[in-house]
Amino acid sequence: MTVQTTNKGYVYLIGAGPGDPGLITVKGRDCLAKAQVVMYDYLANDELLRYAPKGAELIYAGKVGGEHNREQSQINEMLVQKALSGKVVARLKGGDSFIFGRGGEECEALVEVGIPFEIVPGITAAVGATSYAGIPLTHRGVTTSVAFVTGHEKKGKASSEIDWEGLSLGSGTVVFYMGVTNLPHIARSLMDHGRAPETPVALIRWGTRPEQEVLVGTLADIAEKARTAGFKAPAITVVGEVVSLRETLRWFDNRPLFGRSVMVTRGADQAGEFATKLEQLGAHTHCCPTIEIVPPQSYAALDEAISALDSFHWIIFTSYNTVQYFFNRLREHGLDSRALGRCRVCAVGPKTGAALEAYGIRPDLIPADYKAEGVVAAFAEMDMDGKWVLFPKGDRARDVIPEELGRLGAQVIAPVAYANRTPEEIPAEALAALEEKRLDCVSFTSSSTVQNLAAILGENRFLHLMEGVKVASIGPITSKTCRDLGLEVHMEPAEYTLDALAREMVSYFRQR
């Protein structure tokens, strides 16, 4: 290896875990945050790259088209050269670097030229994938030992280095890495050396990821089952009686939305909560903010209303955003919740009510129907003649509440508290999911989310990309907007909340 002598940097060899980005260690994440250069592998989840500092050099050292992008010697040399240029390098490898990860070879290259380094262990595929498949590697009364074995020995060897007899005669669990191609040879070798043909076997592909697939059989039939199913790498093979525990302990891939890919089209600051809820149900989510919530062009009307708060009988909040923007403006005036005095408070929906309770306010009224018409119906049962109502709203809010309460005799003041802005584009990852037909469902939580997505993509392209994608709408107003734009609505809950929308999605996909 040819090297240039210069100021030495530092290398972190980081195990990225088997696929789920949440399985990287805290230390691994922190080391990534220090890196000036990140060299990452095929099996390291791309989502982990967001932990790297902005401007860090990203180098892909994995596979392209199933073949290695670079030889191991080239990777070693690049690692050395980047460190010798004085850079902090994070070498991000799938699973654990020291378990069939060739991490030892990379460290030897660093030692040869005196580059300091640190090993950050990761969760290896045998541990992560089996846990997500509901297969314990050891289990009381079943087995107390486990072996990790390569299923892909170097070509051209005169004889195998695998102790087939030792692996076959014991009762322990055996996990083969990278062994799908050699599966017939592995199964035959174990049976030829004494392992019972009826021994349970599981193949786990893309373990811990939303794409996880598990195929169960026995030593006698697993190779044929894999061939029939077209089961491909990357996968591990688990051999042993512990595989029979999968049906009892299965938890990851039997969740109601497992394998479903869902796009969430809320504002960037609110999409996370709903996405997390869907992910807990097993879905693979793509956050696609189609709304940006921004301050209004002018606060003059809202400020005027705030200055006259003691003259209002009611204040109506229809969303989390109206609550946040109203109370932020109140704070700007040096006021807090006490400024509402005897003004009664209406909240549309439990989420809005919860947002108010964070400010110490318990709503006097939460209409049973969580849309504008429901608000009007609730106030129609009261004497509103001569009552003053403050209705802080978004710039795209419908006029139903002020118009209908006005017909009931109320004086309604409706200042704009915040504005909705349409982003210029959607995230590249979300667009790719649409274009590549990888989505099962798109969720819309307001008319604006539908209109904005159509505006960003262009209506013709929008309808083309939405072909075959199921539509989940939070309520009838949003559903009408969907239909007006040419979409069919497949899911709409009776209660217009995110929890109800998630339940409706579960019900719909369970039937299929």
Within a domain: 1: no
Assess whether pLDDT exceeds 80 at residue 488.
yes
pLDDT for the residue 2: 42
**In this structure, what are the phi and psi dihedrals at residue 74, rounded to the nearest 5 degrees?**
-70, -40
Mean pLDDT value across residues 226-253? 96
| Residues designated as active site | 41, 63, 178
Pairing of strands 173-177, 235-239: antiparallel
Question: Based on the domain organization, do 116 and 23 belong to the same domain?
Answer: yes
User: Cis ω on the peptide bond leading into residue 234 (within 30° of 0)?
Assistant: yes
Distance in angstroms (rounded) separating the CA atoms of residues 239 and 483: 52
- Asked whether the beta carbons of 435 and 324 are under 8 A apart, the reply is no
pLDDT for the residue 169: 84
- Asked whether the beta carbons of 147 and 175 are under 8 A apart, the reply is yes
Scan for tokens 């991000």, then name that residue. 92
Question: Based on the domain organization, do 241 and 155 belong to the same domain?
Answer: yes
Cα Rg of the chain, angstroms: 29
Within a domain: 379: yes
**In this structure, what are the phi and psi dihedrals at residue 377, rounded to the nearest 5 degrees?**
-60, -40
Question: Based on the domain organization, do 136 and 158 belong to the same domain?
Answer: yes
Pairing of strands 388-390, 411-413: parallel
Could you tell me the CA-to-CA distances from 144 to 137, 147, 163, 241 in Å, in that order? Answer: 9, 11, 19, 11
Kindly report which listed range (168-177, 476-485, 487-496) carries the lowest average pLDDT score: 168-177
Instruction: Encode pLDDT of 499-508 as tens digits.
Output: 999 999 999 9
Q: What is the domain-level CATH number for residue 90?
A: 3.40.1010.10
Question: Based on the domain organization, do 457 and 414 belong to the same domain?
Answer: no
Within a domain: 255: no
Q: Other CB atoms closer than 10 Å to residue 28's CB: what's the count? A: 24
Question: Based on the domain organization, do 436 and 367 belong to the same domain?
Answer: no
* Domain final residue, candidates 217, 249, 281: 249
pLDDT for the residue 69: 62
Instruction: Encode pLDDT of 154-193 as tens digits.
Output: 555 556 789 999 999 877 999 999 889 999 999 999 999 9
- Asked whether the beta carbons of 7 and 86 are under 8 A apart, the reply is yes
Instruction: Encode pLDDT of 245-302 as tens digits.
Output: 999 999 999 999 999 999 999 765 666 789 999 999 999 999 999 988 999 999 999 9
Looking at the whole model, is its pTM more than 0.75? yes
Mean pLDDT value across residues 37-66? 84
Within a domain: 2: no
Question: Based on the domain organization, do 243 and 269 belong to the same domain?
Answer: no
If you write DSSP's letter for every residue of 424-460 in order, what string do you get?
Answer: SS--HHHHHHHHTT--SEEEE-SHHHHHHHHHHH-HH
Distance in angstroms (rounded) separating the CA atoms of residues 95 and 100: 9
Assess whether pLDDT exceeds 70 at residue 56.
yes
pLDDT for the residue 430: 93
Assess whether pLDDT exceeds 50 at residue 1.
no
- Asked whether the beta carbons of 132 and 208 are under 8 A apart, the reply is yes
Distance in angstroms (rounded) separating the CA atoms of residues 280 and 292: 26
If you write DSSP's letter for every residue of 124-165 in order, what string do you get?
Answer: -HHHHHHHHTT--SSBTTTBS-EEEEESSPPTT-SS--S-HH
Within a domain: 4: no
Which residue range forms the structural domain that includes residue 174?
127-249
- Asked whether the beta carbons of 130 and 137 are under 8 A apart, the reply is yes
pLDDT for the residue 269: 62
- Asked whether the beta carbons of 496 and 371 are under 8 A apart, the reply is yes
Distance in angstroms (rounded) separating the CA atoms of residues 87 and 64: 26
Within a domain: 102: yes
Task: Give strand pairing partners of 200.
Answer: 218
pLDDT for the residue 3: 44
Question: Based on the domain organization, do 181 and 34 belong to the same domain?
Answer: no
Chain mean pLDDT for the chain: 92
Q: Comparing 370 with 380, which gets the higher pLDDT?
A: 380
Instruction: Encode pLDDT of 300-335 as tens digits.
Output: 999 999 999 999 999 999 999 999 999 999 999 999
Number of domains observed in the structure of the chain: 4
pLDDT for the residue 268: 59
Report the percentage of the chain scoring pLDDT > 90. Answer: 84
Instruction: Encode pLDDT of 63-87 as tens digits.
Output: 654 555 678 899 999 999 999 999 9
Question: Based on the domain organization, do 98 and 141 belong to the same domain?
Answer: no
Mean pLDDT value across residues 105-114? 96
Within a domain: 237: yes
Question: Based on the domain organization, do 482 and 470 belong to the same domain?
Answer: yes
pLDDT for the residue 65: 47
Distance in angstroms (rounded) separating the CA atoms of residues 213 and 266: 30
* Domain final residue, candidates 122, 148, 166: 122
- pLDDT band (50, 70, 90) for residue 208: very high
Q: What is the domain-level CATH number for residue 369?
A: 3.40.50.10090
pLDDT for the residue 42: 76
Within a domain: 5: no
Task: Give strand pairing partners of 239.
Answer: 174, 201
* Domain final residue, candidates 398, 420, 442: 420
